[in-house]
Amino acid sequence: MERQPLWNDAAECSEQIADLAVRALIEEARLTPKPALVDQHSSGAHTDMDFELMCRSAQVLRGTFARIALTAFRQKPSQVLREQLAAIGRDGEKVMLTATGGINTHRGAIWALGLLTAGAAMSGPGASARQIAALAGEIARYPDRFSPAKRTSKGFRVRQRYGVPGAIGEARQGFPHVVEIALPVLWAARSRGIPETFARLDALVAIIAHLDDTCLLHRGGTEALMTAKCGARAVIAAGGTSTRAGWDALHRLDRELVARNASPGGSADLLAAALFLDSLDLEIKHDRTPAGVTRL
């Protein structure tokens, strides 16, 4: 039987987009050493998570991302679509909590990658990372009228107390920390011949240096946020993670954050979002059957 071009086949395309989303989550978890985050060698500032749990959590979310992509396939942003996706996202949070025994491994990632998955499925082949993120932002700007936890979530309390945009604001603005910071840093590092692990670490450090991460604020207030931002800027000023001085500064940042029990969990989510958009760019944007996209 002749194969349909990928973007003509909603089900196949949605599965492929979901595979890339899961792969981005696993590659984020696999990236080592990350400051105060879960990676292959450490659980950072997290006593309730480890690398295996992050991978299990990522795997069970494949169905959520596939449903999101299928629902959004070739659609336009609308209030109805926003509410359909919110319902699937909330189901995904339940799936995650069941798989992890109640631990919040990926709430922020379901939000960010869910919206970007939808943006990718809506745009079709040839769309840039910026266009996909802008579409995702458009969806996020519709109100979530049926959200049960609007005024009780940690994110809400932190946004009220510190006046920061948080995960919701980041999405509504079209993911500026992904499109304007992480991806340019990742691509510039690659073009300078920096090995992939360091390029990804540099992208993460750049996000931490700029993001008002509500995970840091919730755990350690403005002091934790400042520690993270200053420490990340020190890594950049030292020449990045591929230099000896930058590598040492990265480890200093890890020690300082762990000592405060503070974690840049939102920055990790946005790195996964950047890796997703990057992989989409490499693999299926041009209506090619993805090379090497295997069920993880």
Ligand X SMILES: CC(C)(COP(=O)(O)OP(=O)(O)OC[C@H]1O[C@@H](n2cnc3c(N)ncnc32)[C@H](O[C@H]2O[C@H](COP(=O)(O)OP(=O)(O)OP(=O)(O)O)[C@@H](O)[C@H]2O)[C@@H]1O)[C@@H](O)C(=O)NCCC(=O)NCCS
Ligand Y SMILES: Nc1ncnc2[nH]cnc12
Residues contributing to the site for ligand Y (CB under 6 A) = 28-29, 37-38, 46, 54, 106, 109, 263, 265, 268-269
Evaluate whether 64 touches 92 at the Cβ level (below 8 Å): yes
List the single partner that 186 binds among ligand X, ligand Y, none, CB under 5 to 8 Å by kind: none
- Calpha distance 257→267 (Å, rounded): 14
Nearer to ligand X, 90 or 190 (CB): 90
List the single partner that 29 binds among ligand Y, ligand X, none, CB under 5 to 8 Å by kind: ligand Y
- Calpha distance 116→129 (Å, rounded): 9
Of 26-34, 126-134, 164-172, 281-289, the segment contacting ligand X by CB under 6 A is 164-172
The one-letter amino acid at 89: G
Nearer to ligand Y, 15 or 254 (CB): 254
Is 197 one of the binding residues for ligand X (CB under 6 A)? no
| Selected binder of ligand X within 166, 176, 220, 240 (CB under 6 A) | 166
The residue behind tokens 């069970």 is 60
**Ramachandran class of 47: left when φ > 0, alpha when ψ lies in -120 to 50, beta otherwise:** alpha
Nearer to ligand Y, 14 or 57 (CB): 57
Cβ within 8 Å of residue 265, ≥6 positions away: 37, 108, 213, 215, 216
Nearer to ligand Y, 138 or 202 (CB): 202
Evaluate whether 256 touches 231 at the Cβ level (below 8 Å): yes
Length of the chain in residues, anyone? 296
Nearer to ligand X, 145 or 251 (CB): 145
- Cβ 198 to ligand Y shortest distance, Å: 17
Nearer to ligand Y, 67 or 106 (CB): 106
Is 42 one of the binding residues for ligand X (CB under 6 A)? no
Is 222 one of the binding residues for ligand X (CB under 6 A)? no
Residue 197, token pair as written in the block = 């692990």
| Selected binder of ligand X within 54, 66, 85, 250 (CB under 6 A) | 85
Nearer to ligand X, 173 or 242 (CB): 173
Distances (CA, A) of 3 to 8, 9, 11, 12, 289: 10, 10, 13, 11, 10
| Selected binder of ligand X within 9, 12, 50, 144 (CB under 6 A) | 144
Of 100-108, 125-133, 236-244, 247-255, the segment contacting ligand X by CB under 6 A is 100-108
Cβ within 8 Å of residue 225, ≥6 positions away: 212, 213, 216, 217
- The DSSP H or E segment spanning 259 is helix 244-259
Evaluate whether 167 touches 108 at the Cβ level (below 8 Å): yes
Contacts (CB under 6 A) with ligand X, residues 200-219: 211-215, 218-219
| Selected binder of ligand X within 115, 122, 132, 277 (CB under 6 A) | 115
Site string for ligand X, 245-264 (x = CB under 6 A): ------------------x-
Residue ranges of alpha helices (H) inside 31-174 are 51-60, 62-72, 79-100, 107-123, 129-141, 154-162, 166-172
Residues making contact with ligand X (CB under 6 A)? 46, 68, 85-86, 89-90, 104, 106-112, 114-115, 144, 147, 153-156, 166-168, 170, 211-215, 218-219, 263, 265-266, 269-270
